[in-house]
């Protein structure tokens, strides 16, 4: 009972290992992956004294229950939830030292979607392409947690951070405001569709996942039918599949695709997108003039 590892007692709806992801491999068809709310993942790492690259757990809506096999400092943050050790409440969003064999429960999210659990030393599963992140699109990295599985922990790097005066956790959004820049394929849509995107009421769909934030709302009408030959896709791309409802690409998005991208969401707004529960109102706010043309490359 003293090895550096923890057992999964209840995995929850979907709990995955996440770090900063594996950017730089998109040309091989490898998604970036990584924590959907990187700010929260970074904060729980700081609370237990880990470097930013350390791997943490990302839960989905209903938390998880874990039993460390060694004494270890943990911190739970991101979506607010109850945190208990052997049934007794402990602080959320703060480092907590727990004894070997105790039962750590991150409860269901009170607000938001994804809580983050950091252990001092980080989760030490084998990296793939430089990252320990679970990539749900391509299957790289460790599989999602299952009840009864045991995951290794690394050696603590340093003392837990002293963050006196509290940590600035962003609140999960009551309304999700996504700043967008139109393009690269805004010309595949009608003017009416561009107006609809920025004026109509959309809501977060329950079909959202780590690949994309799906929305429900009015269809966006296309000016051109069909699909594009495959082209590279970026994080935050607002892709419009045949059902006409915009999908915002999140960390596990495919690296190429053929549905036209109407606009791109500012990366700084994607952590809030990852914490927006189904049903949350969504507003797309343009930050540049609609229909930005291509840059003048001076070539006919």
Partner 1 sequence: MRALPVGDRALLVELTDGDEAGALHAELLRRRAAGLLPAIREIVPAARTVLLDGLDGPERFARELAQWDIPALHARVQDAIEVPVRYDGPDLADVAALWQVPEEEVVRIHSAAEFRVAFCGFSPGFGYLTGLPQRYAVPRRATPRTSVPAGSLALAGPYTGVYPRSSPGGWQLIGTTDTVLWDPARESAALLSPGTRVRFVPERAGIRR
d(CA 34, CA 16): 10
Kindly state whether residue 24 participates in binding partner 1, applying the rule CB under 8 A: yes
Residue 297 CB partners (closer than 8 Å, separation 6+): none
Place of tokens 């992956």: 33
8 A C-beta contact, residue 247 and residue 276: no
Cβ distance to partner 1 smaller for residue 174 or 285: 285
Least distance (Å) from partner 1 to the CB of residue 12? 26
Cβ distance to partner 1 smaller for residue 67 or 185: 185
- Count of residues engaged in binding partner 1, rule: CB under 8 A: 41
Cβ distance to partner 1 smaller for residue 76 or 270: 270
Instruction: Find the farthest-apart pair of alpha carbons in the chain and give their distance in angstroms, rounded.
Output: 70
Place of tokens 């001092």: 120
Kindly state whether residue 27 participates in binding partner 1, applying the rule CB under 8 A: yes
Least distance (Å) from partner 1 to the CB of residue 29? 4
Cβ distance to partner 1 smaller for residue 27 or 162: 27
d(CA 187, CA 238): 14
Kindly state whether residue 1 participates in binding partner 1, applying the rule CB under 8 A: no
d(CA 185, CA 283): 20
Kindly state whether residue 226 participates in binding partner 1, applying the rule CB under 8 A: no
d(CA 71, CA 14): 25
Kindly state whether residue 38 participates in binding partner 1, applying the rule CB under 8 A: no
Cβ distance to partner 1 smaller for residue 39 or 292: 292
Cα separation values, 33 from 17, 106, 141, Å: 11, 23, 10
Least distance (Å) from partner 1 to the CB of residue 150? 22
Least distance (Å) from partner 1 to the CB of residue 72? 28
Scanning residues 128 to 187, which ones bind partner 1 (CB under 8 A)?
128-129, 138-140, 181, 183-185
Kindly state whether residue 102 participates in binding partner 1, applying the rule CB under 8 A: no
Least distance (Å) from partner 1 to the CB of residue 56? 21
Kindly state whether residue 297 participates in binding partner 1, applying the rule CB under 8 A: yes
Least distance (Å) from partner 1 to the CB of residue 233? 8
d(CA 107, CA 110): 8
Q: Which stretch binds partner 1 (CB under 8 A): 165-173, 209-217, 245-253, 258-266?
A: 258-266
The backbone region for 144, taken as left when phi is positive above 0, alpha when psi lies in -120 to 50, beta otherwise, is beta
Place of tokens 């994080």: 235
d(CA 133, CA 118): 14
Least distance (Å) from partner 1 to the CB of residue 232? 3
Cα separation values, 172 from 74, 92, 178, 270, 280, Å: 22, 15, 14, 12, 10
d(CA 195, CA 20): 35
Cβ distance to partner 1 smaller for residue 154 or 183: 183
Query: What does the binding site for partner 1 look like in residue numbers (CB under 8 A)?
Result: 23-30, 128-129, 138-140, 181, 183-185, 229-234, 236-237, 254-257, 261, 264-267, 292, 294-299
């Amino acid at each position: 009972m003293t090895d550096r590892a923890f057992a999964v007692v209840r995995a929850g709806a979907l709990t995955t290992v996440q770090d900063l992801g594996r950017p730089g491999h998109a040309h091989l068809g490898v998604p970036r992956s990584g924590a959907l709310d990187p700010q929260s993942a970074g904060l729980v790492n700081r609370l237990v004294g880990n470097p930013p690259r350390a791997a943490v757990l990302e839960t989905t809506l209903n938390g998880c229950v874990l039993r460390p096999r060694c004494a270890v400092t943990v911190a739970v943050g991101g979506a607010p939830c109850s945190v208990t050790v052997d049934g007794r409440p402990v602080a959320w969003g703060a480092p907590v030292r727990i004894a070997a064999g105790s039962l750590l429960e991150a409860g269901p999210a009170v607000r938001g979607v994804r809580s983050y659990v950091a252990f001092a030393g980080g989760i030490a599963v084998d990296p793939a392409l430089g990252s320990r992140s679970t990539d749900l699109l391509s299957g790289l990295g460790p599989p999602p947690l299952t009840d009864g599985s045991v995951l290794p922990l690394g050696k603590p790097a340093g003392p837990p951070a002293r963050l006196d005066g509290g940590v600035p956790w962003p609140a999960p959004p009551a309304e999700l405001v996504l700043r967008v820049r139109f393009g690269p394929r805004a010309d595949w849509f009608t003017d009416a569709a561009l107006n609809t995107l920025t004026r109509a009421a959309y809501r977060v769909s329950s079909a959202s996942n780590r690949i994309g934030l799906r929305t429900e709302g009015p269809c966006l009408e296309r000016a051109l039918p069909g699909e594009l030959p495959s082209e590279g896709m970026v994080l935050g791309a607002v892709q419009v599949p045949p059902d006409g409802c915009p999908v915002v690409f999140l960390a596990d998005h495919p690296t190429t695709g053929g549905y036209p991208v109407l606009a791109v969401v500012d990366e700084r707004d994607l952590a809030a997108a990852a914490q927006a529960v189904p049903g949350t109102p969504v507003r797309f706010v343009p930050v540049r003039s609609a229909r930005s043309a291509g840059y003048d490359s001076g070539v006919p």
